[in-house]
């Protein structure tokens, strides 16, 4: 008796991985940059913490809303395409069989076999088959707005909490370098985790998030120091 070969592919992680990495990365970069900018302006410790906490809450809500709206738009598009495809299957069955046959033929299947496969697949589940083969919609890629929104908000909050904790623990002249160094470390770790989960190069994953994070913090530190000096 033959045994089925079971495989686990990294593409199964793409939905939650994208939202999680994006949320955590934004949480670290935006909150750390805000804290560095406010601290560099000469604000007192309490003001820095309030700014950071406000940034965490606002950022988490913004990420959730943005992901929900974006992914909901994708869902609307998918549903519109599926509705149209359902109508075509009801009124143009033979043409849809020809279309599916053509898709399989273009992939290297001979015409006779492609026709048989198309007929068998459509007999089993015509809409799901055309959704997958023609539209590229499957269980792996189906948009899930609520999941994306909650994941982004949660991971943003976790990411933002890291530099905020450092800001709470360190005050005075050491605050800016401490937040910056810790945040770059957090970003590097996040890049490694994301790359590991996605099967990508670890060094590249770490570098591409730390470089942008360093640039963002340097820019806000310069703004904070400039306007803090001007207002002083």
Q: Where are the domains of the chain?
A: 12-231
Which is nearest to 193 in space by CA: 20, 15, 2?
A: 20
What's the CA dihedral at 88, 69, 210, 32 to 10 degrees? Answer: -170
Express each pLDDT in 104-140 by its tens digit: 898 888 989 988 988 898 888 888 888 888 877 766 5
Res 229: pLDDT: 54
Q: How far apart are CA 173 and CA 179, in angstroms?
A: 11
Tokens of 126: 């015509």
Tokens of 166: 């450092």
Q: How far apart are CA 72 and CA 107, in angstroms?
A: 32
Residue recorded with tokens 């198309």:
118
Express each pLDDT in 69-115 by its tens digit: 888 888 888 888 888 888 888 888 888 888 888 888 988 889 899 88
Lowest mean pLDDT among 13-17, 52-56, 126-130: 13-17
Tell me: pLDDT of 181 over 90. Answer: yes
How does the average pLDDT of the chain come out, rounded?
83
């Amino acid at each position: 008796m033959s045994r089925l070969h079971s495989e686990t592919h990294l593409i199964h992680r793409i939905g939650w991985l994208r939202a999680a990495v994006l949320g955590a990365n934004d949480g670290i970069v935006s909150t750390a940059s805000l804290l560095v900018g406010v601290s560099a302006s000469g604000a007192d410790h309490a003001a820095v913490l309030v700014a950071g906490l406000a940034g965490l809450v606002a950022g988490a809500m913004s990420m959730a809303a943005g992901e929900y709206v974006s992914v909901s738009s994708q869902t609307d598009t998918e549903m519109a395409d599926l509705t149209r495809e359902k109508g075509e299957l009801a009124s143009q069955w033979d043409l849809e069989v020809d279309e599916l046959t053509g898709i399989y033929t273009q992939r290297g299947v001979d015409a006779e076999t492609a026709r048989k496969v198309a007929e068998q697949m459509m007999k089993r589940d015509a809409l799901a088959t055309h959704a997958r083969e023609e539209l590229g919609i499957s269980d792996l890629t189906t948009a899930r707005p609520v999941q994306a929104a909650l994941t982004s908000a949660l991971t943003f909050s976790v990411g933002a909490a890291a530099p905020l904790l450092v800001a709470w623990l360190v005050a005075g002249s050491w605050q800016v370098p401490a937040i910056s160094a810790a945040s770059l470390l957090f970003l590097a770790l996040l890049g490694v985790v994301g790359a590991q989960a996605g099967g990508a190069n670890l060094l590249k994953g770490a570098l591409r998030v730390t470089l942008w994070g360093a640039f963002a913090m340097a820019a806000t530190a310069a703004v904070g120091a400039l306007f803090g000096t001007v207002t002083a």
